[in-house]
């Protein structure tokens, strides 16, 4: 292990990021009156938030910082592309987007990580995505933080994996091995017409929590938790909301072999928006 990697690994011990993350979640979920309004206004200015696209523009309606951070957008602010197999689930920056080879996904140049470890350690779960494709999208604090369905599908299983809360910025991505399999994450498996789809919501430093419409806010726990669902219980249309982050983090999408190719727009460093084409459909010819 290099000195840089060793220092990053030691960060969790020297600076209790999980404790700071829990504290951050507590404070940002509390109605603090004038202080909350001060934080929101400073945040808007610091991150140049586009107020024109926000559904609720009256800042006084946001009683906590997270009320604003997880703000909804106006109808039509993110057009959904139907001329493709699947769309981006979030706004953000593409970290990596490529094929899954020998059960490994690229984290950064010279670093990769295990597909099986990412989805919870079950070989049957990871086998569905062997030789398939993946997209890793990083959400900065300035991004819209709700997560949406890439295409029509039904939820069949979730796995919550407790973990660390390392920052997922460029420094850690390029120097900390297996970052995405170290951090807390919620792994969501869907059945779709193109085949199995997995959406992994990865927590990070100061991510107050992950929430979903079927389970509410995910409670942190010591052990892995698996939930199975009847295929007809939770049906989602393309573009429907399936979760949110109460601060910046990462979403990783996985799909199987021959389920569709990546859009040419999804390359490392590209800025993407929720609803734009992510998986090509070769049967659709756009003139």
Q: Which residues are tagged catalytic?
A: 91, 148, 249
By CB neighbour count within 10 A (0-12 exposed, 13-18 middle, 19+ buried), where does 229 fall? middle
Q: Describe the chain by its helix, strand, coil percentages, rounded to 5.
A: 25, 30, 45
- Those residues whose C-beta lies under 8 Å from the C-beta of residue 89, and which sit 6 or more positions away, are 137, 147, 148, 149, 150, 199, 242, 251, 253, 274, 278
Helix (H) or strand (E) holding 252: strand 250-255
DSSP letter at 26 equals H
Helix (H) or strand (E) holding 45: helix 34-46
Q: How many CA atoms lie within 13 A of 64 on its CB side?
A: 13
User: How far, CA to CA in Å, does 221 sit from each of 51, 156, 163, 225?
Assistant: 36, 22, 9, 9
């Amino acid at each position: 292990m290099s000195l840089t990697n060793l220092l990053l690994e030691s960060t969790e011990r020297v600076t209790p990021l999980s404790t700071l993350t829990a504290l951050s979640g507590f404070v940002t979920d509390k109605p603090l009156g004038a202080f909350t309004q001060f934080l929101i206004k400073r945040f808007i200015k610091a991150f140049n938030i586009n107020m024109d696209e926000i559904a609720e523009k009256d800042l006084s309606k946001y009683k906590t910082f997270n009320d604003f951070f997880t703000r909804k957008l106006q109808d039509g602010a993110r057009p959904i592309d139907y001329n493709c197999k699947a769309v981006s689930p979030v706004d953000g920056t593409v970290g990596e987007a490529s094929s899954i080879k020998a059960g490994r996904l690229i984290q950064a140049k010279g670093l990769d990580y295990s597909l099986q470890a990412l989805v919870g350690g079950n070989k049957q779960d990871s086998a569905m995505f062997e030789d398939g494709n993946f997209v890793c999208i990083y959400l900065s604090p300035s991004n819209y933080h709700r997560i949406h369905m890439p295409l029509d599908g039904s939820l069949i299983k979730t796995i919550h994996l407790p973990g660390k809360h390392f920052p997922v910025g460029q420094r850690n991505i390029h120097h900390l091995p297996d970052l995405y399999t170290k951090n807390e994450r919620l792994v969501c498996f869907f059945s779709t017409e193109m085949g199995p789809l997995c959406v992994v919501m990865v927590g990070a430093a100061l991510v107050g929590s992950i929430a979903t419409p079927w389970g509410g806010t995910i409670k942190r726990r010591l052990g892995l938790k698996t939930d199975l669902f009847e295929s007809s219980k939770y049906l989602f249309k393309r573009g429907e909301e399936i979760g949110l982050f109460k601060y910046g983090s990462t979403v990783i999408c996985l799909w199987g072999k021959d389920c569709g190719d990546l859009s040419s727009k999804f390359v490392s460093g590209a800025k993407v928006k929720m609803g734009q084409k992510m998986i090509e459909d070769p049967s659709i010819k756009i003139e």
